[in-house]
Amino acid sequence: MITAEEYLYVTDRALSGMVTIVKDLGDELANQAPTIDGANTPFAILTHCLGVIEAWAGHRVAGRPLDRDRDAEFRAAGPVGPLLERASTVRSRLHRDALAAEPDAPLRASTPHALDHGIRTQGAALLHVVEELAQHHGQMEITRDLLLAGRRAG
Domains of the chain: 4-153 (1.20.120.450)
pLDDT for 154 beyond 80: no
Least Cα distance to 46 among 139, 148, 125 occurs for 139
pLDDT in tens, 51-61: 999 999 999 99
Tell me what pLDDT residue 111 has.
Answer: 78
Nearest residue to 87 via CA among 146, 39, 18, 154: 18
How confident is residue 91, by pLDDT bands cut at 50, 70 and 90? very high
Evaluate if residue 112 carries a pLDDT over 80. Answer: no
The whole-model pTM stands at 0.95
